[in-house]
Amino acid sequence: MSEVKDIEILIIGGGPAGLSAAAAAADLGASVLVLERDGKLGGQLVKQTHKFFGSKKQYAGDRGFQIGDLLIGTCENNSKVEVWSDTTALGIYEDGVVTAERDGKHLKIKPKKIILATGASEKMIAFPNNDMPGIFGAGAVQTLMNVHGIVPGKRVLMIGAGNIGLIVSYQLMQAGVEVAAIIEAAPAIGGYLVHASKIRRAGVPILTSHTIQEAYGKDSVEGAIICQLDDKWQAIPGTEQDLKVDVICLAVGLSPLTELCFQADCQMKYVPELSGHVPLRNDYLETTRPGLYVAGDVSGVEEASSAMVEGRLAGISAAFSLGYGKDLAPKLQAEALAELSELRSGPAGQKTLQGIRKLMDKGEALC
Amino acid sequence: MRIEEHPILDFKRGKEITFFFDGQEIKSFEGETIAAALHAAGVRILGHSQTMHRPRGLFCAIGNCSSCLMVVNGEPNVRICVEKVQPGLRVETQQGKGCLK
Ligand SMILES: Cc1cc2nc3c(=O)[nH]c(=O)nc-3n(C[C@H](O)[C@H](O)[C@H](O)COP(=O)(O)OP(=O)(O)OC[C@H]3O[C@@H](n4cnc5c(N)ncnc54)[C@H](O)[C@@H]3O)c2cc1C
Ligand code: FES
């Protein structure tokens, strides 16, 4: 029988949320183990080359990968934090045992508290030939370009003019790839106008009220047919355009990676404002399974800034429940809660707040 | 294609190594994923779907979607977007489910 590893707090996922949770819990004195399925810590941050917005406290002005390096540094230099990278968490069992895989080996961990910070996965949209090679999620294009230094192709059609679509288009241009157009089904650009104007200045059209009708090509993408939509989101005949592109990049949103929450029997609810099924949780991010916390995109897709604060809040709360930081923890929790409300005071934050209200509203059906 | 010059990033590539894709020698660098190395070499079709035999390529690049399954050193269903290259590795296009030897 394989050995069971005992630990006070187990954190699943080493992105901004998980790393912030680890540092916060360890600072209060708890022993922490972080599992990360990738070889490198940092989650989505490691591929983000643009400067962040927000307040100085959330590292505004720094580039994503620099923030990632900073968080990785704080964890690596903390003797209370152990990191297992290349390790995928597989299951959370009724008796509290968490199983994981590394190098083909099956590992068992028995934590006192668990913080889930698994992030999110990319959404897909339906159109003929959407399964063809050459169609990538925006995150994949970022990984290829900014982590491996490899361009995905020569000419790209970007779908989605939210922040991710805009930022990745700009990054493609920085890498020397042509962006044929950015199309957006909604009548307005969803992302920040600073990003949009940089792209327009470079001569790339951003076509709102436009969608993709189909992709075509022999074995992989050779082009796409796009068309205009009317105010009822129906295709307007005669507006079709044929774009010769070898890459179609989808930036149509993310959905929380909640398999482990389902498996751990957390009560879940579908909340569109939070981008999918998310676990019910209290103000301190503890789910309906006692001792299991969530933080970051897994608790509702938002931003790295809020993921870091949520991580800190979950880390403090888990450590506090184990008896650490008796005097300090409540003050730190209040600070983190105040920071979250400040972050969510803008228009995008209103959507999250509405989502959280819906999530915690007792009246609706649960699954 | 590899990016040689970038306004923000500086790519530190590892030692040069070679591996095999369907018998053909491919140059790559230590530390990169098989998916990255194949894309750098212009290979986008990684396998074919089980029922409709449609071509499959990279989609998420972080091990979430299973679109990139290939046969690696005889073992089928390896997600090559999260599997690193190694000298002499044999990577093959997968047809359907693949079978365990
Ligand atoms: C193109 C793009 C641009 C963005 N720009 C900004 C921006 O300018 N400002 C901003 O604030 N935010 C931005 N974001 C959003 C931000 O990156 C995310 O909200 C943030 O990374 C979420 O953090 P997280 O820790 O919850 O998840 P992630 O960063 O996704 O990290 C989750 C980690 O968990 C690991 N994991 C998952 N499952 C398991 C498992 N079973 N076992 C072990 N490990 C596992 C993953 O490998 C990953 O490392 C951007 C996102 C994208 C895609
Ligand atoms: S491309 Fe999604 S798992 Fe490899």
Could you tell me the residue ranges of all domains in chain A? 4-121+254-360, 124-250
Kindly report the three-state secondary structure assignment for every residue of A144-173.
Answer: HHHHCCECCCCEEEEECCCHHHHHHHHHHH
C-alpha to C-alpha distance for A84 and A107, rounded to whole angstroms: 11
CB distance B69 to ligand 2 below 6 Å: no
SS3 at position A351: helix
Residues of A in Cβ contact (< 8 Å) with B75: none
User: Which amino acid, residue A346?
Assistant: G
CA of residue B27 relative to chain centroid, distance? 12
Phi/psi at A46 (nearest 5 deg)?
A: -65, -20
Q: Say if the Cβ atoms of B61 and A144 lie within 8 Å.
A: yes
How far apart CA A93 and CA A266 sit, in angstroms, is 12
Q: What is the mean pLDDT of residues B29-47?
A: 94
Q: CA angle, corner A320, sides to A314 and A325, nearest 5?
A: 120
Q: Are A27 and A55 in contact (CB under 8 A)?
A: no
Atom of ligand 2 nearest to the CA of A140: 1
Question: Per the structure block, which two tokens stand in for B54?
Answer: 């449609």
| Band (B96; pLDDT cuts 50, 70, 90) | confident
Ligand 2 atom closest to B59 (CA): 1
* Tokens found for residue A62: 């720094």
**Structural domains of chain B sorted by starting position, each given as residue range(s) with its CATH number in brackets:** 16-95 (3.10.20.440)
Question: And the tokens for B55?
Answer: 């071509």
Sequential pLDDT tens for chain A (367 residues): 568 999 999 999 999 999 999 999 999 999 999 999 988 899 888 777 777 666 666 677 777 778 888 888 888 889 999 999 999 999 999 999 999 999 889 999 999 999 999 999 999 999 999 999 999 999 999 999 988 999 999 999 999 999 999 999 999 999 999 999 999 999 999 988 889 999 999 999 999 999 999 999 999 999 999 999 999 999 999 999 999 999 999 999 999 999 999 999 999 999 999 999 999 999 999 999 999 999 999 999 998 899 999 999 999 999 999 999 999 999 999 999 999 999 999 877 899 999 999 998 865 555 5
pLDDT the model gives residue B12: 80
Contact list in A for residue B1 (CB cut-off 8 A) is: 150-151
> Measuring CA to CA, which residue among A315, B55, A258 is closest to residue A307?
A315
Contacts of B82 in chain A (CB under 8 A): 37-38
For β-strands A210-216 and A223-228, DSSP reports them as: antiparallel
Q: Please, what is the end-to-end C-alpha distance for chain A in angstroms? A: 35
Give pLDDT tens digits for A253-277.
999 999 999 999 999 999 999 999 9
CB A195 less than 6 A from any atom of ligand 1: no
- Class level of CATH domain A124-250: alpha beta
How does DSSP classify residue A52? P
Q: How far is A156 from chain B (nearest CA, A)?
A: 14
Report the C-alpha gap between B42 and B33 in whole angstroms. 14
**Which one of B1, B64, B81 has the shortest CB-CB distance to A151?**
B1
Q: Which residues of B touch A (CB under 8 A)?
A: 1-3, 6-9, 11, 13, 32-33, 35-36, 39-40, 44-46, 49, 54-65, 67, 81-82, 84
Identify which of B2, B7, B46 has the shortest CB distance to residue A150: B2
Chain B residue whose CA is closest to A88: B63
Interacting residues of A57 by C-beta distance below 8 A, sequence separation 6+: A339
Of A13, A275, A250, which is closest to residue A136 (Cα–Cα)? A250
Helices (H), B1-101: 34-40
Beginning with the edge strand found earlier in the chain, give each strand of the sheet holding B16-21 in spatial order. B24-29, B16-21, B90-92, B69-72, B75-79
Whole-model pTM: value is 0.90
Min Cα separation A361/chain B (Å)? 31
From A40, A41, A44, mutation site for ligand 1 pocket: most ligand atoms within 8 A of C-beta? A44
- The answer to whether the CB of B49 falls within 8 A of the CB of B98 is no
Strands A223-228, A241-243: pairing is antiparallel
- Residue A140 CA: which ligand is closest? 2
Q: Is A36 in the pocket of ligand 1 (CB under 6 A)?
A: yes
pLDDT in the model for residue A272? 94
Which residues of A lie closer than 8 Å to B, measured between beta carbons? 37-39, 49, 63, 121-122, 131-137, 139-140, 143-152, 174-176, 219-220, 257
Instruction: Please tell me if the CB atom of residue A45 comes closer than 6 angstroms to any atom of ligand 1.
Output: yes
Asked whether the domain spanning A124-250 has the same topology as the one spanning A4-121+254-360, the reply is: yes
CA distance A344 to chain B (A): 29
Q: Are the beta carbons of A137 and B39 separated by less than 8 Å?
A: no
CA–CA min distance A145, chain B (Å): 8
CB contact under 8 A, A140 and B7: no
In the 8-state DSSP scheme, what is residue A342? H
Atom of ligand 1 nearest to the CA of A301: 19
Asked whether residue B46 carries a pLDDT value surpassing 70, the answer given is yes
Helix residue ranges per DSSP H, chain A: 16-27, 64-76, 138-142, 163-174, 193-201, 259-263, 304-321, 328-343, 347-360
The reply to whether residue A150 touches residue B1, judged by beta carbons under 8 angstroms, is: yes
Question: What is the CATH superfamily name and number for domain A4-121+254-360?
Answer: FAD/NAD(P)-binding domain (3.50.50.60)
Q: Name the nearest CA neighbour of A254 among A346, A140, A103, A172.
A: A140
Q: By C-alpha distance, which of B24, B22, B14 is closest to B84?
A: B14
Please report which residue ranges of A36-93 form alpha helices under DSSP H: 64-76
Rounded CA Rg of chain A = 21
- Quickly count: other Cβ atoms within 10 Å of residue A100's Cβ: 20
Q: Tell me the per-residue pLDDT of B50-89, one tens digit each, with 9 for 90 and over.
A: 889 999 999 999 888 999 999 999 999 999 999 999 999 9
